Amino acid sequence: MLRRLRGHAVIERAGDEVARRAEVARGHLALLPEGIARDALSELCDTVVSRSA
């Protein structure tokens, strides 16, 4: 069952959407001052994208 789900086009499209939204979020992060908080939020974007892959 999981193999069928992972191979489905909807899963790939969902992953693409997650990556797209993460890039938008990173763009918003540019408005924040450089620092630990901004770095942590950027890393969170990376984590969410990698978990959805």
Its domain, for residue 34, covers 2-52
Confidence of residue 37 (pLDDT cuts 50, 70, 90): very high
Torsion from C-alpha of 41, 42, 48, 53, nearest 10 degrees: 180
> Hey, how many other C-beta atoms are within 10 angstroms of the C-beta on 46?
11
8-36 pLDDT per residue, tens: 788 889 999 999 999 999 999 999 999 99
Q: Which residue type sits at 2?
A: L
Residues 1-14, mean pLDDT to the nearest whole number = 77
8-state DSSP, 34: S
CA dist., res. 23 & res. 43, Å (int)? 12
What predicted TM-score, i.e. pTM, was given to this entire model? 0.77
Which helix (H) or strand (E) segment holds residue 50: the answer is: helix 36-52
Q: How many domains does the chain have?
A: 1
